[in-house]
């Protein structure tokens, strides 16, 4: 019988006798701590350390592979919650829709913007420092009081977001996808500000057009069958033309161009350790460009230049 001094025990369970050691650290482990390896067994700590050293699987654009389009779910939920808020408090639309320049009279009514406005009137919109409108308008939709199109506005946008978002998010990963969505929404609002600052606009269409551009760029980069993709883009561009008479073509075009620019940076960044830095830098440069353009337009409207 072995003497007490020669008895070996598990390093995690000192009271349990063990005669098997970890193939990586050579510490003794009991059956409860054994993790089967390619050769022999490893302890839990070595298994965890090995998992950390294994490179995470990435998509062709550098994003982490995810099975659940969580960001798309959250974006749809935010849009729906905002719409419920509109039903409960209709004044939310006036307060948060995209509006570059506007006047509110002493009677509470809305009037066309003037650089020099009468006493008792006050400016509203981005010219009054309400910069949040550049993004909040992208989460609002036409209320039901606008007739049938009021309901269809959010339904059509959410169906499009569901169909496009799941595909784009799966390819880009959650962080890159969210950056694309928000920058596209911002790009749409900025073009509205530059071209039609007095027109109030709302809806997720600008961001969704950005996703459409991303879908096209990714398909080209992956050498996918372009027949179906080209038909999709033809429909998207047709809707862009139709929207010139029905909704805000500026918001749609701004989102389309911004989404395309962001995805080009994602798709053609060098495939090495610099990729994430290059992609993040491109997004940062585009963000600065959009904000500087917006600031310049507001300065022009308010006569600050």
Distances (CA, A) of 30 to 3, 11, 22, 27, 118: 19, 8, 10, 10, 85
Which range, of 28-32, 82-86, 194-198, 271-275, averages the lowest pLDDT? 271-275
- What the chain holds in terms of domains, given with CATH numbers, is 4-51 (no CATH), 70-301 (1.20.1540.10)
What is the per-residue pLDDT across 182-199, written as a single tens digit (0 to 9) for each? 999 999 999 999 999 988
The verdict on pTM exceeding 0.75 is yes
Which residues, in sequence order, are bridge partners of residue 9? 17
pLDDT at 70 over 70: yes
The rounded distance, in Å, linking the Cα atoms of 230 and 277 is: 31
> DSSP code of 58?
B
- Provide, rounded to the nearest whole percent, the portion of the chain with pLDDT above 90: 42
């Amino acid at each position: 019988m072995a003497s007490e001094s020669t008895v070996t025990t598990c390093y995690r369970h000192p009271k349990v006798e063990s005669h098997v050691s970890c193939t990586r650290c050579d510490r003794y482990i009991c059956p409860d701590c054994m993790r089967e390896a390619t050769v022999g067994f490893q302890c839990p700590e070595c298994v965890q350390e090995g998992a950390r050293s294994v490179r995470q699987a990435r998509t062709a654009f550098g994003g982490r592979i995810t099975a659940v389009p969580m960001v798309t779910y959250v974006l749809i939920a935010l849009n729906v919650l905002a719409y419920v808020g509109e039903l409960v408090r209709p004044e939310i639309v006036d307060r948060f829709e995209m509006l570059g320049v506007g006047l509110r009279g002493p009677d509470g009514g809305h009037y066309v913007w003037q650089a020099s406005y009468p006493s008792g009137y006050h400016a509203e919109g981005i010219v009054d420092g309400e910069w949040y409108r550049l993004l909040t308008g992208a989460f609002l939709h036409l209320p039901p009081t606008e007739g049938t199109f009021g309901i269809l506005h959010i339904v059509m946008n959410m169906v499009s977001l569901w169909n496009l978002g799941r595909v784009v998010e799966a390819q880009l990963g959650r962080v890159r996808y969210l950056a694309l969505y928000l920058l596209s929404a911002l790009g749409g609002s900025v073009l509205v500000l530059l071209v039609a600052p007095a027109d109030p606009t709302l809806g997720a269409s600008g961001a969704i057009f950005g996703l459409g551009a991303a879908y096209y760029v990714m398909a080209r980069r992956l050498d996918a069958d372009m027949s179906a993709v080209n038909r999709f883009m033809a429909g998207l561009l047709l809707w862009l033309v139709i929207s010139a008479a029905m909704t805000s073509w500026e918001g749609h075009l701004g989102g389309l161009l911004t989404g395309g620019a962001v995805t080009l940076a994602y798709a053609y960044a060098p495939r090495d350790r610099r990729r994430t830095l290059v992609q993040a830098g491109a997004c940062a440069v585009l963000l600065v460009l959009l904000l500087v353009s917006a600031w310049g337009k507001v300065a022009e409207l308010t006569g600050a230049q």
